Each structure stands twice: as C-alpha cells, then as structure tokens.
C-alpha cells in the first residue's frame, strides 16, 4: 500500500468488461456445443475408448477444449486504477516514469474472431482486452479528453 501513496491520489479506474467476458464465453460454449453435436451425430459413440492411449488423448482434447472455452472467465477480476503519478494494474503499482511512453494498439489475428487491445509501454505490454473503457479512462485521467 505504500506504493499507492507514492503514485498519488486516484484519478479514475477501469474494471473488467463483464458483458464482453460473458458474450465471448457464451459464444465459445455455443461453438463447442455445435462441434460436439456434429461429431456425435456423424459418428455416434459405441462404447469407451479402444485402449488407454486413446482414452488419454480424448481426455487431453476435452481438457484443452474446456480451457479454451472458459479462458475469458479468468479476466473477471481485471482492474486498472489511474493515479496522479502512476497506474495500478493487476494489484501492482507502476509509476508513469517507469512505464515511459504509453500507446494503445488494437490487434486482430487471422485466426481470432475478436480484436485484442494492448497498452504498450517501455516496461511491459499489458493486455487490456477485457477491461472496459481502459483507453478512454486513461485519456480522461491524463489528457482530460475522451
């Protein structure tokens, strides 16, 4: 908590975008459900896996799919607080001097359905995709415009 006093009083804050998180998780559940239904309908199961290796592979595929489907839920506690002389991100305080030049980049991969947003600094690149109005609150706090 000493670091928060060092970076000055809080100007504004940005929390997780629960609407985006729920929407993306729901979309992933729907896509996984369609794939499962199509797979079962086209190739109905006739019992358990043939051998142990096949069972392990099926289990790993199911676990990987579950991680992919529920990945956005890990961002439910994302939080940024903008202070007079710094930013608190993931409960760690960063001074503006330490961060250096700050820019925002929207990036979309060929394989991705949605755009990701990054806050690039000289110290680290922060993924702020699931933070609601992160760039807007940054501009409001430090440049007094939206």
Tell whether the model's pLDDT for residue 3 goes beyond 60.
no
Give yes or no: residues 136 and 96 share one domain.
yes
Give yes or no: residues 120 and 82 share one domain.
yes
Q: Which residue has the higher pLDDT, 135 or 49?
A: 135
pLDDT number for residue 1: 46
What is this structure's pTM? 0.78
Give yes or no: residues 7 and 27 share one domain.
no
Confidence of residue 49 (pLDDT cuts 50, 70, 90): low
Residue 127 belongs to domain spanning: 2-16+77-142
Give yes or no: residues 43 and 86 share one domain.
no
Q: Which residue has the higher pLDDT, 79 or 3?
A: 79
Give yes or no: residues 6 and 37 share one domain.
no
Residues 122 and 23: their CA atoms lie apart, in Å, by 32
């Amino acid at each position: 908590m000493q670091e928060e006093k060092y970076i000055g009083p809080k100007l504004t804050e940005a929390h997780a975008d629960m609407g985006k998180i729920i929407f993306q998780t729901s979309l992933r559940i729907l896509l996984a459900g369609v794939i499962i239904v199509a797979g079962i309908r086209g190739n109905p199961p006739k019992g358990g896996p043939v051998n142990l290796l096949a069972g392990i592979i099926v289990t790993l595929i199911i676990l990987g799919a579950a991680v992919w489907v529920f990945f956005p839920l890990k961002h439910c506690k994302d939080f940024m607080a903008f202070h007079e002389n710094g930013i608190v991100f993931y409960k760690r305080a960063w001074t503006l001097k330490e961060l250096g030049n700050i820019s925002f980049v929207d990036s979309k991969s060929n394989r991705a359905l949605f755009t990701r947003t990054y806050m690039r600094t000289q110290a680290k690149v922060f993924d702020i995709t699931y933070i609601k109005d992160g760039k807007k609150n940054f501009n409001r706090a430090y440049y007094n415009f939206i």
